[in-house]
């Protein structure tokens, strides 16, 4: 004690020091099990070092042992909120490799499902973002609306999250007879609820104060770190795969790529809110025009890809998701690599949080919309 | 209405005790009775508030809330309390033993001290100081020492950050609470709670004091919410940032004490708001409407008091379940750049109103 | 002076946005009949799962204790997790031919990811997805099931 007193007397001020805090793997705001080693000075964040790998499940390695149709069900479990897009990425990659052209019906249904999944993901992101900022009510409003989408999934795909709906060559089932009616009802319902999101959270002065000018990610940094998806587009990085490299039914629909040049947390927030409106538009354009036809192409019992390397990218709710398959001509791949958006987005975190407060770290992390199994796949 | 006046009842008990026992014994018995009564009230009302919070929050979120234990989950909080009682008390190995165990008691004692000055009904008040308002603001801020001790002694960085936030926050907002109360003291001309309530016989201060009183009420609500570490100001325990803030390392009954203290503080802030602005136990009176005033008098003052308290509690809960949390620097900005200047101007305004007799 | 007016306006604007948010929550507070909570164990009787819901793999049997499984093992091949094991046996048909039929269709529910590949691949439609979703048991061994009922036999006319 006397030493401390001497220090205080000598330096005429309280001795301060940096300290490190382990945020996670068990921490309420890391949405699962992400570990961040945070260096703090008082409330100020000096350095954030993400440690990934706590729930690494070895999905890429597992893919080498199983056949192509079987890979689909593993991709459900990576980014579980974008399960449809992940399934579709693998399916498209295999179809391209085999040079199979799927019917238009499949393309339309896949696109509608993608957008529904994007909506569900953004809804969940919205409610969790509110919760991270301390507005606990948003959590239940978001989940309430997401429930409608999950019901649609459950009726048509048979599962709520791990859907495994797209398969190489088409779809697992045809759409349910109720599908179109349910989707239309949902759009009508959700168009009344989205303005409420704005009233409750977007317009709120506390949210604006908490997010404006916080977590600046410049255009250059976004490209350097490979930050894609809504987070990248909020930095003005035009990276929408749906626009630049359209797949499925995206060439047939008109939609805007939401871009924002403010680069801060509020921009990332608003890009996602506006994307929800765009998703509703896309679904509205497609839902009445699903062409008749088969829901799948007849594929061989055992799929063997030709020797070579194949890559397919799609836009998930979090950004660009890529599937890279190296085939040696056998029925299972030689090597599979997934380019997951969460992994690249996470490592921009340190750059964005420097000098901000702990509360901002939580808000910024939340706007990156991290899904941990997507990072530790 | 005299039948609702507790003064004669308490007086009779006092004289009865004084006649049958020695004076020191009679005083001791009175102390014990009052202590037990407050303890029971706090425990039961705390449990009720926890239940009410869960139900109110559920209704805001389109849920049902607890429904399993008892009818509509009425016994849920009692079950939770029993669970907390039976839980193991875990202490971090390198925690400061004495301070760690002392902290929950300081917090809860501060709450008990503050509750003693509140008038529940005519005559139902244990200490009727002539400096009641001053006493209440003084003792209610003792609780922050307990929070600081808890955060410091837990030997946990999250707890420490939470405690430091809480310290900065409560010390700042104490100013706004006191100033907005001071505004009303200027208007009422007294610091005695019973006299303040008595002064609202014709009209509650929020009506008779019009603009400055309403501003003071709003400021008091905001600052009071911050004082209780609730709602958008729950930085000290900020679940998504600091896990559980200053009480991260507490378990079992010690945690329950912090939890209970939070709800008692909520009650105290609401009760003060109800007493100073909304007329305490005084029924709603309108100047000349004799018959209306008479009907209102039939509702017992205790019901008036608790009705107003529950209304204010509901509003504070409404804040909590709607707004996002503020950041630590914004909390201080709000206090020093907005509430404090508003308060100072407001107190001047109130002085003018009193001087020019521009009130009802 | 201008900044002072801005300061005052910012206060009112801020308070207004807060009130707008409070209106939204109040709307739901005062319309409790819109609540979305389901009282789950109590509503079991009315809780109907969608017909495509994937709860578990089952093998439907007719009243005569007949199923459609030939024991070909395609489901076993298609399963990504090895949660299906086919044990077949040889019998001698009344015509005197040797034939392999199913002895036990073993299904490990604990390993199953409910991907639907086995059901999709089954050439005779012998296995389907059941809607039961309450799978909690006290012992892990209970999650290993034999899908074909004891004494059951393959229905007439199923193509090999």
CA distances from A298 to A48, A66, A109, A167 (A): 50, 21, 17, 11
Phi, psi of A255 (to 5 degrees): -155, 160
Q: Do C28 and B63 touch (CB under 8 A)?
A: no
| Tokens, residue C46 | 């009315």
- H-type alpha helices, B63-131: 76-86, 97-115
Question: Contact at 8 Å (CB) between B223 and B241?
Answer: no
Using CA coordinates, name the residue in chain A closest to B230. Answer: A134
Between CA B267 and CA A188 the distance in angstroms is 43
Between CA C24 and CA B359 the distance in angstroms is 35
Q: Which residue has the higher pLDDT, A107 or C98?
A: A107
Q: Do A28 and B239 touch (CB under 8 A)?
A: yes
Q: Which CATH class is domain C56-154?
A: alpha beta
Instruction: Region of A164 please: left (phi>0), alpha (psi -120 to 50) or beta.
Output: left
Q: Do C21 and B338 touch (CB under 8 A)?
A: no
Nearest to C29 among B59, B67, B319 (CB): B59
Nearest to C24 among A72, A77, A196 (CB): A196
- What ipTM does this complex have? 0.83
CA angle A210–A212–A218, rounded 5-degree value: 125
Between CA A85 and CA A279 the distance in angstroms is 14
CATH topology of domain A8-375: Cytochrome-c3 Hydrogenase; chain B (1.10.645)
Return the SS3 of A36: strand
Contacts of C139 by beta carbon, 8 Å cutoff, 6+ apart = none
| Tokens, residue A317 | 């709710």
Between CA B106 and CA B113 the distance in angstroms is 10
Strand order in the sheet with A19-23: A19-23, A35-41, A44-51
Contacts of A301 by beta carbon, 8 Å cutoff, 6+ apart = C121
Antiparallel, parallel or unpaired: β C66-67 and C153-154? parallel
Which single residue is written with the structure tokens 């009425």?
A: B74
User: Is A164 at the interface with chain C, CB within 8 A?
Assistant: yes
Chain segment B317-356, per-residue pLDDT in tens: 888 888 888 888 888 888 888 888 888 888 888 888 888 8
Using an 8 Å CB-CB cutoff, list chain C residues near B56: 29
User: Is A171 at the interface with chain C, CB within 8 A?
Assistant: no
State the nearest Cα–Cα gap between C42 and chain B, in angstroms.
11
pLDDT of residue B286 exceeding 80 = no
> Nearest-CA neighbor of A336 among A347, A346, A322, A318?
A322
Between CA B331 and CA B166 the distance in angstroms is 11
Domains of chain A by residue range: 8-375
CA distances from A161 to A32, A87, A370 (A): 17, 12, 17
| Tokens, residue B251 | 């378990």
Which single residue is written with the structure tokens 């009682």?
A: B85
Q: Which residue has the higher pLDDT, A59 or B207?
A: A59
Best of C20, C28, C29, C33 to disrupt the B interface by mutation (most B CBs within 10 Å)? Answer: C29
pLDDT of residue B155 exceeding 80 = yes
Best of A199, A204, A209, A266 to disrupt the C interface by mutation (most C CBs within 10 Å)? Answer: A199
Q: Which residue has the higher pLDDT, B140 or A219?
A: A219
> Nearest-CA neighbor of A309 among A102, A76, A96, A87?
A96
A131-151 burial: b if 16+ Cβ within 10 Å, else e: bbbbbbbbbbbbbbbbebbbe
Chain segment A80-139, per-residue pLDDT in tens: 888 888 898 988 888 888 888 888 888 888 898 889 999 999 999 988 888 888 888 888
Q: Do B322 and C39 touch (CB under 8 A)?
A: no
User: Chain C neighbours among A 207-236 (CB < 8 Å)?
Assistant: 208
Nearest to B157 among A21, A28, A132 (CB): A21
Q: Do A140 and B62 touch (CB under 8 A)?
A: yes
Residue A7's pLDDT is 52
Residue by residue, DSSP assigns A179-204 as: HHHHHHHHHHHHHHHHHHHIIIIIT-
Q: Do A210 and B326 touch (CB under 8 A)?
A: yes
Contacts of A260 by beta carbon, 8 Å cutoff, 6+ apart = A233, A234, A235, A236, A267, A268, A270, A271
Between CA C89 and CA C74 the distance in angstroms is 16
Using an 8 Å CB-CB cutoff, list chain A residues near B327: 209-210, 357, 359-360
Residue A1's pLDDT is 47
Q: Do C34 and B321 touch (CB under 8 A)?
A: no
Size of interface B-C (CB pairs under 8 A): 37
Chain segment A227-251, per-residue pLDDT in tens: 888 888 888 888 888 888 888 888 8
For residues C127-139, average pLDDT: 87
Between CA B280 and CA B193 the distance in angstroms is 9
User: Chain B neighbours among A 185-224 (CB < 8 Å)?
Assistant: 200-201, 204, 206-207, 209-210
Return the SS3 of C158: coil
| Tokens, residue A28 | 């309420």
Query: Per mean pLDDT, which range of A60-74, A197-211, B275-289, C114-128 is the poorest?
Result: B275-289
Residue B332's pLDDT is 86
Using CA coordinates, name the residue in chain B closest to A199. Answer: B322
Query: For the CA atoms of A246, A252, A258, A259, what is the dihedral angle to 10 degrees?
Result: 50
Residue A6's pLDDT is 57
Return the SS3 of C151: coil
Question: Contact at 8 Å (CB) between A304 and A276?
Answer: no
State the nearest Cα–Cα gap between C40 and chain B, in angstroms.
11
Chain segment B103-125, per-residue pLDDT in tens: 888 888 888 888 888 887 776 67
User: Is A134 at the interface with chain C, CB within 8 A?
Assistant: no
Q: Do B61 and C28 touch (CB under 8 A)?
A: yes
DSSP B342: H
Cα Rg of chain A (Å, integer): 22
Phi, psi of B46 (to 5 degrees): -60, -45
Give all chains having 3 or more CB-to-CB distances under 8 Å with chain C. Answer: A, B
> Nearest-CA neighbor of C115 among A157, A78, A374?
A157
Determine how many CB atoms are found less than 10 A away from the CB of residue A91. 30
Between CA A39 and CA A43 the distance in angstroms is 10
Chain segment B61-75, per-residue pLDDT in tens: 888 888 888 888 888
Determine how many CB atoms are found less than 10 A away from the CB of residue C37. 14
Omega into B264 within 30° of 0, i.e. cis?
no
Chain segment A7-62, per-residue pLDDT in tens: 555 556 666 778 888 887 877 777 778 888 888 887 888 888 888 888 888 888 88
Contacts of B122 by beta carbon, 8 Å cutoff, 6+ apart = B4, B5, B6, B7, B194, B281, B301
Nearest to B322 among C11, C25, C32 (CB): C25
| pLDDT band per the 50, 70, 90 thresholds, residue C138 | very high
User: Is A39 at the interface with chain C, CB within 8 A?
Assistant: no
Domains of chain C by residue range: 2-34, 56-154
> Nearest-CA neighbor of B137 among B315, B262, B268, B279?
B268
User: Is C41 at the interface with chain B, CB within 8 A?
Assistant: no
Nearest to C129 among A137, A158, A196 (CB): A158
For residues B32-48, average pLDDT: 86
Which single residue is written with the structure tokens 């039939």?
A: B298
Residue by residue, DSSP assigns C28-83 as: HHT-GGG-----TGGGTTT----TT---EEE----TTSEE------HHHHH-SS--
Contacts of B283 by beta carbon, 8 Å cutoff, 6+ apart = B293, B296, B297, B299, B301, B304
Between CA B88 and CA B253 the distance in angstroms is 9
**Helices C2-29 & B23-60 angle (0-180, nearest 10):** 90
DSSP A356: -
Using CA coordinates, name the residue in chain B closest to C29. Answer: B60
Nearest to A199 among C13, C20, C121 (CB): C20
pLDDT of residue A4 exceeding 80 = no
């Amino acid at each position: 004690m006397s030493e401390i007193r001497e220090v205080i007397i000598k330096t005429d001020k309280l001795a301060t020091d940096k300290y490190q805090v382990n945020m996670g793997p068990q921490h309420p705001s890391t949405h699962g099990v992400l570990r961040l080693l945070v260096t703090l000075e008082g409330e100020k964040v000096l350095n954030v070092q993400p440690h990934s790998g706590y729930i690494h499940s070895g999905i890429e390695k597992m893919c080498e042992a199983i056949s192509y149709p079987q890979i689909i069900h593993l991709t459900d479990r990576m980014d579980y909120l974008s399960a449809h897009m992940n399934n579709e990425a693998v399916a498209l990659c295999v179809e391209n490799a085999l040079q199979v052209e799927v019917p238009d019906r499949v393309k339309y249904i896949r696109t509608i499902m993608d957008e529904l999944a994007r909506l569900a993901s953004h809804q969940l992101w919205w409610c969790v973002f509110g919760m991270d900022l301390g507005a606990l009510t948003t959590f239940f409003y978001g989940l309430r609306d997401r429930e409608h989408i999950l019901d649609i999934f459950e009726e048509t795909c048979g599962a709520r999250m791990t859907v495994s709906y797209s398969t190489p060559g088409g779809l697992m089932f045809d759409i349910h007879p109720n599908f179109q009616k349910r989707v239309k009802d949902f759009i009508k319902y959700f168009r009344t609820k989205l303005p409420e999101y704005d009233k409750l959270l977007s317009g709120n002065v506390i949210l604006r104060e908490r997010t404006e000018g916080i977590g600046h990610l410049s255009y250059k940094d976004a490209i350097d770190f490979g930050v894609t998806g809504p987070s990248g587009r909020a930095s003005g990085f035009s990276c929408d795969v749906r626009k630049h490299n359209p797949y499925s039914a995206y060439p047939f629909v008109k939609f805007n790529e939401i871009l924002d040049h403010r680069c801060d947390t509020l921009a990332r927030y608003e890009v996602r809110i506006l994307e929800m409106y765009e998703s509703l538009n896309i679904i509205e354009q497609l839902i009445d025009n699903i062409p008749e036809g088969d829901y799948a192409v007849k594929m061989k019992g055992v799929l063997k890809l030709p020797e070579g390397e194949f890559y397919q990218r799609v836009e998930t709710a979090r950004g660009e998701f890529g599937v890279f398959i190296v085939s040696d001509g056998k029925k299972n791949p030689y090597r599979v690599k997934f380019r997951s958006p969460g992994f690249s987005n996470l490592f921009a975190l340190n750059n964005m949080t420097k000098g901000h407060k702990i509360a901002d770290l939580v808000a910024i992390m939340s706007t990156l919309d991290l899904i941990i199994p997507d990072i530790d796949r | 209405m005299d039948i609702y006046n507790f003064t004669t009842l308490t007086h009779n008990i006092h004289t009865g005790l004084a006649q049958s026992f020695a004076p020191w014994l009679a005083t001791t018995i009175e102390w014990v009775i009052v202590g037990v009564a407050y303890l029971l009230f706090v425990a039961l009302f705390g449990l009720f508030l926890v239940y009410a919070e869960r139900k109110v929050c559920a209704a805001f979120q389109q849920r049902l809330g607890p429904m399993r234990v008892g009818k509509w989950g009425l016994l849920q909080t009692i079950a939770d309390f029993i669970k907390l009682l039976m839980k193991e008390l875990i202490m971090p190995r390198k925690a400061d033993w004495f301070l760690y165990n002392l902290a929950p008691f300081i917090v809860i004692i501060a709450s008990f001290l503050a509750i003693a000055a509140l008038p529940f009904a005519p005559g139902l008040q244990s200490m009727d100081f002539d400096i009641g308002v001053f006493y209440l603001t003084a003792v209610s801020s003792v609780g922050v020492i307990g929070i600081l001790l808890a955060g410091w002694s837990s030997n946990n960085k999250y707890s420490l950050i939470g405690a430091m936030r809480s310290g900065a926050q409560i010390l700042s907002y104490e100013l706004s609470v006191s100033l907005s109360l001071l505004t009303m003291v200027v208007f009422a001309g007294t610091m005695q709670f019973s006299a303040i309530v008595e002064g609202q016989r014709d009209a509650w201060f929020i009506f008779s004091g019009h603009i400055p009183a309403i501003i003071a009420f709003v400021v008091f609500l905001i600052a009071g919410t911050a004082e209780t570490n609730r709602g958008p100001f729950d930085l000290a325990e900020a679940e998504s940032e600091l896990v559980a803030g200053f009480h991260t390392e507490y378990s079992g009954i010690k945690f329950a004490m912090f939890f209970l203290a939070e709800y008692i503080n909520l009650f105290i802030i609401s009760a003060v708001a109800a007493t100073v602005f909304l007329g305490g136990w005084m029924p709603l009176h309108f100047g000349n409407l004799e018959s209306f005033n008479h009907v209102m008098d039939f509702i017992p003052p205790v019901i008036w008091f608790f009705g107003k308290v529950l209304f204010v509690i509901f509003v504070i809960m409404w804040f909590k379940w709607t707004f996002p949390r503020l950041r630590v620097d914004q909390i201080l900005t709000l206090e020093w750049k907005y509430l404090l200047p508003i308060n100072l101007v407001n107190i001047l305004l109130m002085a003018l109103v009193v001087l020019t007799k521009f009130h009802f | 002076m201008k900044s002072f007016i801005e300061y005052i306006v910012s206060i009112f604007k801020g308070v207004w946005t807060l009130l707008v948010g409070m209106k939204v929550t109040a709307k739901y507070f005062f319309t409790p009949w819109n609540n979305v909570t389901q009282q789950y164990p109590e509503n079991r009787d009315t809780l109907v799962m969608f017909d495509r819901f994937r709860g578990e793999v089952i093998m439907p049997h007719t009243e005569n204790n007949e199923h459609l499984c030939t024991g070909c093992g395609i489901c076993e091949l298609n399963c990504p997790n090895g949660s299906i094991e086919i044990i077949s046996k040889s019998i001698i048909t009344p015509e005197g031919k040797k034939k392999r039929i199913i002895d036990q269709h073993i299904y490990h529910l604990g390993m199953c990811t409910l991907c639907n590949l086995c059901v999709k691949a089954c050439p005779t439609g012998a296995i389907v997805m059941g809607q039961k979703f309450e799978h909690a048991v006290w012992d892990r061994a209970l999650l290993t099931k034999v899908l074909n009922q004891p004494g059951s036999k393959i229905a007439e006319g199923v193509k090999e």
